[in-house]
Amino acid sequence: MALAGLLPSLYRPCKGLPGSGLAEAFATIQGLRVTTTSQEEREAHTAKGEPLFAGLPGDIAVSFEFFPPKSEKMELALWNAIETLAPLRPRFVSVTYGAGGSTRERTHATVARIARETAIPAAAHLTCVEASRAEVDEVAREYWQAGVRHIVALRGDPPAGPGTKFVPHPDGYANAAELVAGLSRIAPFEISVAAYPECHPDSANRAADLDNLKRKLDAGAVRAITQFFFEPDTFFRFRDAASAARIDAEIVPGIMPVTSFAAVSRMSKLCGTAIPGWLADLFEGLDEKPQARELVAATLTAELVRRLYAGDVRQFHFYTLNRAELSYAICHLLGVRPGDGQGGTK
């Protein structure tokens, strides 16, 4: 509609909207002009700005998460990923632990091999699910004997599946805070725990969730690794809230490169991670185009990590899904080069 036709219609008061009229019309038009100008300014800044990743000094610390392989083929893929990422000298690599100890032997074998055959500090996930304290303690002692000095202590998911209530083993650890305290009594482990920027699904509210995090840290954990998220402000708000709650331990953002949007959507529903509409739009139509999907995933994840870096984040934990390429590329963009860090191969 032309402006000449728009003004008279806005000048006439609208039924049920007191005060509507010419002033409101000009305010609306002015708002549109401001919005347009703001968008133009952003685009102009983007056009003339420095490259996002130019000159980054590589002053970050990275860690990587893997899951234990289920077959010889998957084991080969896992070790290819470890060998690819090892030259970046991560602070540690962690290996997940299935619900109810379903991957106990495979997790132990994988972690022990990493500790034995590489110079990368290996961290083993350990949960409270369907195991007595004595059983969990025995697993922890086996890790210590195998040279594993770092545990990622987690309550674990309800074995009955998502949406069901977690019921502790009658003789087991009731929660992650109890598990951390128990591990601290067994050996001087370095202990990491989980944090939830968008609140754990089982927590009553955000304040209760932060209280639970504080209990885990007070029990002996030295850092928290967050659930994955997709917008930097999600992490920044959580970091500020943790600081306000007098949590001063290291909080490391967990980064999930989107190798499969469908899979990440399923995981997000389980852990309460919000998926922005713009993210779904960018992956629309790429289900049958894996190479294009990976390029989009690398671009978006690199942008997320770069914005976190601009917000003074210097530690990152990558959920690799046993694939190295995306994580390696993002670390490269951030200035990390082989030999810059703390690990390596023997």
Q: What is the C-alpha to C-alpha distance for residues 104 and 185, in angstroms, rounded to an integer?
A: 21
Residues 175-188: b if buried by 16+ CB within 10 A, e if exposed: bbbbbbbbbbeeee
Cβ-proximal residues to 17 (8 Å cutoff; 6+ apart), any chain: none
Phi, psi of 323 (to 5 degrees): -125, 130
Cα–Cα dist 25/32, whole Å: 11
- Residue environment code for 76-114, b if the CB has 16+ CB neighbours within 10 A, otherwise e: eebbebbeebbbbbbbbbbbbbbebbebbebbbbbbbbb
d(CA 114, CA 130): 26
Range list of β-strands (E), the chain? 61-66, 93-95, 122-127, 150-154, 190-195, 223-228, 250-255, 315-319
Phi then psi for residue 176, to 5 deg, are -65, -35
Check if the beta carbon of residue 299 is closer than 8 Å to that of residue 257.
Answer: no
Helix (H, G, I), strand (E, B) or coil at 134: helix
Task: Give the pair of three-digit tokens for residue 186.
Answer: 């067994």
Q: Is 65 a catalytic residue?
A: yes
Give the amino acid at 180. V
Indicate which residue of 24, 43, 50, 65 is catalytic.
65
Spell out a b/e string for 299-311, using b for 16 or more CB atoms within 10 Å of the CB, else e: ebbbebbbbbbee
Note the residue count of the chain.
346
> Residue for token digits 């000449």?
4
Catalytic residues: 65
